[in-house]
Amino acid sequence: MKAVTDDSVLSVADISVDIGRANILQHVSFSTCNGDVLAVMGPTGSGKTTLLNVIAGRQPLSAGNIYLSGQKFNKRLRRQLGFVLQQDVFFSDLTLWETLYFTAMISLPESLSKADKLKRLENIIDLLQLGKCKNTVIGGIFLKGLSGGEKKRVSIARALLTDPKILLLDEPTSGLDSSMALQIVRQLKALASEYNKTVIVTIHQPSSQVYHMFDSLLLLSQGKVVYNGSAHREPLNSLERSGYKCDPLYNPADFIMDVLSSDGSEIDKLVKSRELAEEEAVNRNSTISIHKDGLSTISTTMRHSSGSMVSIKTHDSDFSISEKEKWPTGFAMQFRMLTWRSLKQSIRTLLHVYSLTEFLFMGVLGGLLMLNDFKTFGDIRGVAFYMVLISTASTAFQAAAIFPVEIEVVSRERASGAYRLSAYYFSKMAGELPLTFAKPTILCTAIYWIARLNGVQQFFITYSIILLNVISIQCVGFIVSIVFPDRQLSTSVLNVVLQLSMLLCGFLIQNIPSWLAWAKYVSHMYYPFSALCIILYENTEPVSCNTTSVITFSKCLQNSSDYVTSVEILHDVGIELPVYCYVGTMILICVMLRVVVYIALRLKRPRIS
């Protein structure tokens, strides 16, 4: 990071946010400058998080404006802002260092050398005292990793990598014990004073020690500003003038929160009292003059955290900042780093103890059950259905389970303008290959060679069909999880889709009513199942009609022949087209579904202001 950030003033001017009929924020105004830690306090539902979302451009304004040193806050200026969410999400299998390395490589401009990026990364790790755990995985529900406090600091570190002028933090101490919460706030305080950053934190009910570390305070209740100013003795004096006196032995933060939880009429009185006091302060400390050319000069005097007065004069015409590239790095760098991260995730998922064992077990079991030398057509159809069913169900549910978590991370990264959707999408396709191919490879290889199903050429065709099926059904899982973000709902929908596909593919039910005969063509499993039946059974010797396995076929029942060929058997169960038709259709479906996934992601893209 830079040694010191240039002085600037963030001004929120009379903003309001309405969502439906609810007034979330009402005429909120305040200013803060570099070097200060501004705490936004208020009870649940007071509008604290909405305020940060508005500043970050993630929530549209209903009224009012936001300025940075006199210039209206826009997308370009918001690149100077870092946002740490209350509940941040990570890729659980990556280590702390890998997480920050990815952020540094993809978020810092390519004009910086890799050595400079790594130096900045290490400096921030030292600043936030994360060195002892930098090789520890982030962890999650099923994987032990970093502690809650360490994850909070990783979130802060990610935001600091781009060296923002302004750092927004939503409830950075929630879920932490008092000692860890104090440590986090101390680090933020040091960050603001040493590097001249503007730090704005929302906080629900801080301890007394944490409260006394804030420089400025903004009190919200029911979306209205109750107090705005210094965080030391002034808030209590202001409330005392309105009839609320704090006991000297009472935690000021607890007292303030009790007052802010008052009913609507009491809050309105406090707001009115604050407005009168603020009007007097504005008249003393701020002047605005309008020139003939229509440009305004704003002179704002504020108190810096060191206690000295900081006067910043700005002129609209002084801000001739050139337009930056839309993305900090090019497509090639984005694709490379996103693929690197996806590969890390895929390989570590594969290395989990139970990841491949289940497929190996099912493959060996399926092969052993087919060890007999004489394999009837029913046996062949059964093993074809088994391979398609196992690879389909496992892949679909895995995609539907993993993708929503990943999309949440990606959405938050893209909301900060980190990379293109296309770069993510193509890297996802490339990085998922080990995970996509490993399981069906084990399943297909074990069954095929243990059961001695056919020759080498037929094996590679069978393997290719299974892979095509896995790639396309993976897309189905992605689409369902995008359209239905709720995990339980997406699982239910996907289960219905797979059950219908299984019923209509031609194995469980062969004599589908004529009026429903078309339905098999919308079954995802119909095409790989039919193609495998052809590959595994074609060119076999004709079977005598005296054989129990074929005695029920129509040609044998007509007594027109003593033998029935493999082609006739396949036709009798509705597999009438050549194998290339089924495979070609699978390729077409695969391409179409990949396009649909991209369109679904594009329609669900995060709003980037």
Where do we find the tokens 């940060």? 52
In a domain, 36, yes or no: yes
In a domain, 504, yes or no: yes
Alpha helices, H only, 351-376: 357-369
In a domain, 323, yes or no: no
Residues of the domain holding 451: 334-536+580-603
Q: Are 435 and 549 part of one and the same domain?
A: no
Q: Are 87 and 194 part of one and the same domain?
A: yes
Does residue 102 contact residue 341 with C-beta atoms inside 8 Å?
yes
Q: Are 571 and 452 part of one and the same domain?
A: no
Q: Are 377 and 235 part of one and the same domain?
A: no
For 486, the enclosing helix (H) or strand (E) is none
Does residue 570 contact residue 555 with C-beta atoms inside 8 Å?
no
Three-state DSSP class for 131?
A: helix
Spatial CA neighbour of 337 closest among 102, 574, 46: 102
Rounded Cα distance between 25 and 12, Å, is 12
Q: Are 32 and 76 part of one and the same domain?
A: yes
In a domain, 160, yes or no: yes
Q: Are 68 and 82 part of one and the same domain?
A: yes
How many domains does the chain contain in total? 3
Rounded Cα distance between 466 and 489, Å, is 27
- Say if residue 579 is exposed, middle or buried (CB neighbours under 10 Å; 0-12, 13-18, 19+): middle
Q: Are 181 and 32 part of one and the same domain?
A: yes
φ, ψ at 29 (rounded to 5°): -140, 140
Q: What is the pLDDT of residue 312?
A: 36
Does residue 139 contact residue 100 with C-beta atoms inside 8 Å?
no
In a domain, 608, yes or no: no
Q: Report the predicted TM-score, pTM, of the whole model to 2 decimal places.
A: 0.74
Q: What is the pLDDT of residue 289?
A: 42
Spell out, as residue ranges, where the chain has pLDDT lower than 50: 287-324, 607-609
Three-state DSSP class for 478?
A: helix
In a domain, 255, yes or no: yes
Q: Are 373 and 451 part of one and the same domain?
A: yes
Q: What is the pLDDT of residue 587?
A: 93
Q: What is the pLDDT of residue 592?
A: 92
Q: Are 279 and 397 part of one and the same domain?
A: no
Helices (H) and strands (E) in the chain, counts: 20, 15
Does residue 48 contact residue 220 with C-beta atoms inside 8 Å?
yes
Where do we find the tokens 């979130």? 155
Please, how many CA atoms are within 13 Å of residue 414, restricted to the half-sphere of its CB? 19
Q: What is the pLDDT of residue 353?
A: 57
Does residue 1 contact residue 190 with C-beta atoms inside 8 Å?
no
291: its two tokens: 């020139």
Q: Are 455 and 544 part of one and the same domain?
A: no
Q: What is the pLDDT of residue 286?
A: 52
Q: Are 492 and 568 part of one and the same domain?
A: no
**Length reported for the chain:** 609
Q: Are 258 and 345 part of one and the same domain?
A: no
Which residues touch 501 (CB under 8 Å, ≥6 apart)?
392, 523, 524, 525, 526
Q: What is the CATH number of the domain that holds 103?
A: 3.40.50.300
